[in-house]
Amino acid sequence: MAEITAALVKELREKTGAGMMECKKALTENQANLEEAIDWLRKKGLSVAAKKAGRVASQGLVGAKTNGKTGAVVELNSETDFVARNEEFQKFVDLLVDTALTGKGCVDCLKATEVDGTTIEHHLTNLIARIGENMNLRRVALLSVENGLVVDYIHNSMTANAGKIAVLVGLESKADEAYLQELGKKIAMHIAAASPLFLNIESVDEESLNREKSIYEEQARNSGKPENIIEKMMQGRIRKYYEEVCLMEQSFIMDPDKKIKDILAEASKETGTEVKLASYVRFGLGEGVEKKTEDFAEEVSKQLSK
C-alpha cells in the first residue's frame, strides 16, 4: 500500500476543505489515490448534505456585481444568520456572483458551471458538509444594456458585494458614465426602499390589474354612489395602484414631489441625450420563503436533549 504522507493529507484538505481525520480515512480507503479520495469525500459530502436538505433555509445573503453593461445578482440561503456571517460562506457568494456575470442567468446553468475543476453544485455540496447547515442556491438574474450602464446597490451590506437586499438598475443612454453611475445608485436605493412590482404601467400583468379592479369595484358599489361617481372612484383607485406598484409612477424617495419618470426626464434634459430606465432587478433576502416556526421553549428543550 502506498504511503499516506502528511503532505498528501494536506493537499487533500486544501482541495476538499474536509477535516484532517476524514482526509486520512479517505486516503486509507482508496490506497492513497488522491482523485479517488476526493470522489470518496464528495460522496460523503452528498450524504451529509442530504440529511440537512429538509431544513428550511431562509437566511443567507444576496449578492450583486456589475461589469459595465452587465450585472448579476444571486441569492444563497442558509438556515441561520450566523452562517451568513461566516467568511467562507461570504466568499462563496462572491464566487457565485463572479461566475454568474458570464453565465446565462439561470440557477441550473450556474450550478453546472465548472470552477477550479469542479462544478458550482459540488462546491456548494462541500460547503454544506463543512459548515453543517442546509444551503440553497435559490435564484440568479442577469441584466444587460446595449448602451449605457448597469448599476448595483447593496442594502444592509455584510460585505462589499452582499447583504440583505441587492438591486440592479439598467440605464440605456449615451450620457457620461460617472453621471449614470450616480443616477443609477439613487434609483437603486429608491427601488430597495419602495420595492416596486413592475417597471411601468404597460408591464402590469392583466391578472394583477383585474384582481385590483374587482376589489375596487366592489368597494365602490358598496358605497351606494351613482354609476358615474363609481367610474371616477375606480379610475382614481387604479391610478393610485399604479403609483404604488409601478417604478416609473412612484414618488422618488429623495424628492417626493417628483416621480421616477420625472427624474429620468430631467436627466435627459440635463445631459442632452435620452436617459432610459431599461430594466431593474431587486432581490430581497428570503422573499417568499416559507419560514419554519417553532416554540422557543421547545427548541431549547431539543437542544438540551441532544
3-state secondary structure of 63: strand
CB 133 within 8 A of CB 145: no
For residue 15, which phi and psi values (nearest 5 degrees)?
Answer: -75, -30
CB 125 within 8 A of CB 46: yes
| Selection from 188, 159, 193 nearest residue 61 by Cα | 159
- Please state, as a whole number, how many other Cβ atoms lie within 10 Å of the Cβ of residue 211: 11
Looking at residue 14, its pLDDT comes to: 67
Q: Which CATH architecture has domain 59-175+273-284?
A: 2-Layer Sandwich (3.30)
In this prediction the pTM is 0.75
Query: Would you say the CATH fold of 59-175+273-284 matches that of 6-51?
Result: no
User: Which are the contacts of 104, defined by CB distance < 8 A and separation ≥ 6?
Assistant: 142
Looking at residue 95, its pLDDT comes to: 97
pLDDT in tens, 205-239: 988 888 888 877 777 777 777 778 877 888 888 99
| Selection from 150, 164, 10 nearest residue 67 by Cα | 150
pLDDT in tens, 119-153: 999 999 999 988 988 899 999 999 999 999 999 99
Q: Which CATH architecture has domain 6-51?
A: Orthogonal Bundle (1.10)
pLDDT band at 85 (very low <50, low <70, confident <90, very high): very high
What is the Cα–Cα distance from 12 to 22, expressed in whole angstroms? Answer: 10
CB 280 within 8 A of CB 167: yes
pLDDT band at 289 (very low <50, low <70, confident <90, very high): low
Query: Could you state, in order of their start, the residue ranges of all structural domains in the chain?
Result: 6-51, 59-175+273-284, 205-245
- Amino acid symbol at 109: C
| Selection from 93, 95, 73 nearest residue 84 by Cα | 93
Looking at residue 105, its pLDDT comes to: 94
At the topology level, CATH places domain 205-245 in: GTP Cyclohydrolase I; Chain A, domain 1 (1.10.286)
User: Which are the contacts of 227, defined by CB distance < 8 A and separation ≥ 6?
Assistant: none
pLDDT band at 54 (very low <50, low <70, confident <90, very high): very low
pLDDT in tens, 233-259: 888 889 999 999 999 999 999 999 999
pLDDT in tens, 168-214: 999 999 999 999 999 999 999 999 999 999 999 999 998 888 888 88
| Selection from 36, 28, 77 nearest residue 57 by Cα | 77
Considering only residues 6 and 38, tell me which one the structure prediction assigns the higher pLDDT. Answer: 6
